[in-house]
Amino acid sequence: MSQRRDSKNVSANTRPRILLLLSAAAALVLASLTTASTASAATSLPCDIYGAAGTPCVAAHSTTRALYAAYNGPLYQVQRASDSARTNIGLLAAGGYANAAAQDSFCAGTTCLITEIYDQSPRHNDLTIEGPGGAGGQDTGVPADALPVTAGGHQVYGASFSGRMGYRDNTTSGVAVNGQPEGMYMITSGTHVNDRCCFDYGNAETNNLDTGNGHMDALNFGTECWFQPCNGTGPWVQADLENGLFQSSAGGSQNTANTGTKFPFVTALLKNNGQNFFALKDGNAQSGSLRTTYSGPEPTTGSGYAPMHQEGAIVLGTGGDNSNGSIGSFFEGVMTAGLPTDAADNAVQANVVSVGYGGPTGTTGSLTAGSELSLRATTACCTGDYLRHQNDSAVISPVSSGSSTVDKSDATWIVRKGLADASCVSFESRNYPGDFLRHFNFKVQRQPMDGSAAFRADATFCPVAGKNGQGTSFRSYNYPTKYLRHYNFSVYIADTSGTNAWDSATSYNDDTSWVAGQPWAP
């Protein structure tokens, strides 16, 4: 109302001069943004882009890559179980990608946890393992090897959260407080989510307690629907502003097209001016542009949100009061001082896409670590069938050049060093990053790696010559008399001395022999 009233009071003589000045200013802004975008596409990383747009990063966290072109410091710290020693994992080069080989070498023969994720910004808002809070006890760090992924053509590791895992910094510098504007994004995964509270990244309370409405300003990603309606099945990018996960000012979704974002790699973005406006965006981190799912007033569901009352801590993986039942994946994220422009957001998304998260490993068709392959059955009935996942279970089904993209992706696996024994192998899903084939009650399933010794053992298989003289048979690491076998189109670990139906001796040697070949998914 006040803007319309002011415009009516501008005199006829003054209005043309103002319009001329505004037009000139707009042209200068457009030119500068065009120049910045061109430079950003060539040389700038996310925090360079936001800094050039006048909204510098006050936090920049990643386990996969540098977020400033000039950054050449550590990304994160790992601690190994065997002797509690710690080391920092840095970059292959300034502005480049994580030196995953350094982690592999340091953690060889044992397991490691990520104990600290360093802030690449000059603010040094480093994240350490979160302590107890109002809704959750002491957290642990994520297993360092649970989420291998390709980025920039290099193998790196994301951070895979499996509940009761979280990081925090309660004594930050430069992070928005008491209604100051800010923005943030993170790269996460739409295939590793649940409906528990709260997989967050962003601004939280400084005492690990719920201190009231508007005391948080954090990204949330998951399938928890706090306010109705929630369209589709999710997962959704939401704003955790404390005492609610918001998709709009009314709480629930006002966007019927926003049914969730299930891409293997997701860009999630929130910005909030701290007074009367916030916006949510999402996108495919592998291709395309951002989508705005909400842009409008602060929540009207209760007092305390307009203005906001942020406290300035940073949380990752839990809610502000350490509600820590959620699962999720984290690859990178930043927080800014000031409200980022849409142009800067778009340039950051373009840079993220250029990373090529989840891209080809460069090796195919073999059982060497890092190779992508598909496994074909050799039983006479089923020589056109391949081992794939379907509704979380391992099955065999026909796959051919005419099959759907989903079928081809479900039948493609990435060979990893055995999670329990590096001389054996584990199979990571190509389209569900961080999910592995593992047996449970002898049935083989696709599940996210939780870092436990039981999971590591269940997901490790040792290759031997094919029992029927073709290809390879895969012996279970922790049940060494049992082999990976298809039976009635489902997949189990089995041996002929067992008492289950899938332990039948009929065609056992054929059913346990697999041919490793070129991957169906590119």
Q: What is the spatial order of strands in the sheet that 112-117 belongs to? A: 86-89, 76-80, 112-117, 127-129, 167-169, 313-316, 200-204, 217-222, 236-240, 245-246
Hey, how many other C-beta atoms are within 10 angstroms of the C-beta on 130? 26
Distance between CA atoms of residues 189 and 199, nearest Å:
11
Distance between CA atoms of residues 152 and 67, nearest Å:
13
Amino acid at the residue 428: E
Would residue 321 show up in a list of annotated catalytic residues for this protein? yes
Would residue 342 show up in a list of annotated catalytic residues for this protein? no
Residue with tokens 């061109």: 38
Distance between CA atoms of residues 155 and 358, nearest Å:
9
Among 64, 79, 261, which Cα is nearest to 148's?
A: 64
Residue with tokens 């929540």: 299
**φ/ψ bin of 199: left (φ > 0), alpha (ψ from -120 to 50), beta (otherwise):** beta
Using DSSP's 3-state secondary structure scheme, residue 164 falls into: coil
Catalytic, out of 321, 435, 495, 503: 321
DSSP letter string, 309-343: ----EEEESS-TT-----EEEESEEEEEES---HH
Catalytic, out of 130, 205, 242, 298: 242
Distance between CA atoms of residues 88 and 74, nearest Å:
6
Distance between CA atoms of residues 402 and 375, nearest Å:
18
Residue 493 φ/ψ, nearest 5 degrees = -105, 135
Where in the sequence numbering do the catalytic residues fall? 242, 321
